Structure 1
Amino acid sequence: MLGMVLAAGAGRRLRPYTDTLPKALVPVDGDTTILDIALRNLAAVELRDVVVIVGYQAQAVHERKAALEDRHGVKLTLVHNDKAEEWNNAYSLWCARDYFARGALLVNGDTVHPVSVERTLLDAPHTSDILLAVDDVKALADEEMKVTLDDGALKRITKLMDPAQAYGEYIGATLIRPGAAAKLADALQATFERDPQLYYEDGYQELVERGETIRVAPIGKVDWVEVDNHDDLAKARTIAGTYI
């Protein structure tokens, strides 16, 4: 199984940090970046072959590739998203489709969370070929990627949902087992061909509507944050240093 990090985003709400860096390379603990935390977590669960999807300011990741490999004891394969500044991330994840068949633990390159999230996904029983890490504890608002369930399986995943109806928030970490490879690639392609501005989570919804089963794994009470703006970055800098 591979590690996989989606790190192609521009993060315009984090300027001036992202004037010359992708969001994943914004520091959150000294010189430790969001990408460092993702790679550290993956290495801690022995996923040392890691695919990183790059796009916006990709050269910055290329320039740090050797140092990141040495720092975390990983081997990085960089996959380039040629439409990172034009299209949303359904296409971005599809760019890494050739690696799905090996199985992957996917993490978003803008999420700061402890390694307990990766362990929760890897330790969960094999009840579906795609398993989503979900926070069912925190209070939700409009911006979160919310989920509802039907008999324990994913029914709906979208930001466009009344928070009161949601089971919880998808936190940007997914276990993709090899059996999902072809179906996921096809669903992602159908999603971005329908609308290039859709999210990869809309690809998960496409799978559900095709009759596929996707399960969720609650992560419990965990300090984590999706870093979209400067307030999120301040929170990330508060909690990142507490991770062991």
Structure 2
Amino acid sequence: MIGLVLAAGAGRRLRPYTDTLPKALVPVDPEGAGTTTVLDLTLGNFAEVGLTDAAIVIGYRGEAVVERKAALEKKYGVKLHLVDNDKAETWNNAYSLWCARDILTEGVILANGDTVHPVSVEKTLLAARGQDRRIILALDTVKKLADEEMKVITDPAKGVRRITKLMDPATATGEYIGVTLIESSAAADLADALKTTFEKDPDLYYEDGYQELVNRGFTIDTAPIGDVAWVEIDNHDDLKKARGIACQY
């Protein structure tokens, strides 16, 4: 199993940082000096749970990741493989994850390049492996939800039933935080579902690919992460929160 980071997005709401950097390289250290980024934190988490290889899907300002590749490998002891998303600025991340379809065959812990979270999330997912679980989503069942979150409805016997932002928060079981364990045995099914998803609408999310899988009868499981501090960075308010959280880990 290896790590996989989706880091192709532009993150235009984080300008001026993202004028020259992908969102995954926006500084989250308290001083904002750039010594710590989301990518740093994620690679550190991967290393802590024993992963020695990771792939990064790059696109917008991907040259910034290329420039830091050797330094990141040395710092975290993780061999990095870069995957190019040629449509990063025009298509959504269902296509971005599909670009890494060959990587999925190795089994991955997938992390969005804009999610600041503790290593306990990866540990929770790894502990939930087994019993024919092929895809396991990290789920926050504690946070109070609103309209913007990627919400999930689960059934104790059938796993995920719905995953979308477009639902009444009161009906949701929890929020998907952007970290998934994907076993190698799920790679072909997931790649096909992602292809169907972006061919239907290139603006769809990879979570819509998860929904496509569920609709086909594929069981997707979840693992509650408990009451932990994490944040998805979409704007400058989120970035401020991220800096407060990052200094805790």
Secondary structure of the corresponding residue to residue 103 of structure 2: helix
Matched, 1:149 2:154: yes
Instruction: Identify unmatched segments of 5+ residues in structure 1.
Output: none
Secondary structure of the corresponding residue to residue 185 of structure 2: helix
Q: TM-score normalized by structure 1?
A: 0.98
Secondary structure of the corresponding residue to residue 238 of structure 1: helix
Matched, 1:212 2:206: no
Aligned mates of 1:102, 1:167 — CA distance in 2: 30
Report % sequence identity: 70
Matched, 1:172 2:178: yes
Say which of 126, 130, 138 aligns to 2:143.
138
Matched, 1:46 2:45: no
CA deviations 1:15-67 (Å, max 9, x no partner) are 00000000000010151011000000000001120000000000000001001
Q: CA RMSD in A?
A: 0.7
Q: TM-score normalized by structure 2?
A: 0.96
Count of aligned residue pairs for this structure pair: 243
Aligned mates of 2:124, 2:20 — CA distance in 1: 34
CA deviations 1:210-229 (Å, max 9, x no partner) are 00000000000000000000
Structure 1 stretches of 4+ with a deviation exceeding 2 A read: none
Instruction: Identify unmatched segments of 5+ residues in structure 2.
Output: none
Residue 59 of structure 2 corresponds to 55
Secondary structure of the corresponding residue to residue 102 of structure 1: coil
Aligned mates of 1:28, 1:93 — CA distance in 2: 24
Secondary structure of the corresponding residue to residue 179 of structure 2: strand
Aligned mates of 1:5, 1:141 — CA distance in 2: 26
Residue 224 of structure 1 corresponds to 230
Secondary structure of the corresponding residue to residue 171 of structure 1: strand
CA deviations 1:51-95 (Å, max 9, x no partner) are 000000000000010011111111100000000000000000000
Aligned mates of 1:241, 1:73 — CA distance in 2: 22
Q: Give runs of aligned pairs for residues 68-217 of structure 1, distance below 5 A.
A: 68-127=72-131, 128-152=133-157, 153-217=159-223
Residue 5 of structure 1 corresponds to 5
Aligned mates of 2:114, 2:164 — CA distance in 1: 18
CA deviations 1:124-177 (Å, max 9, x no partner) are 142420000000000001000000012350000000010000000000000000
Aligned mates of 2:110, 2:129 — CA distance in 1: 18
Letter in 2 for 1:154: V
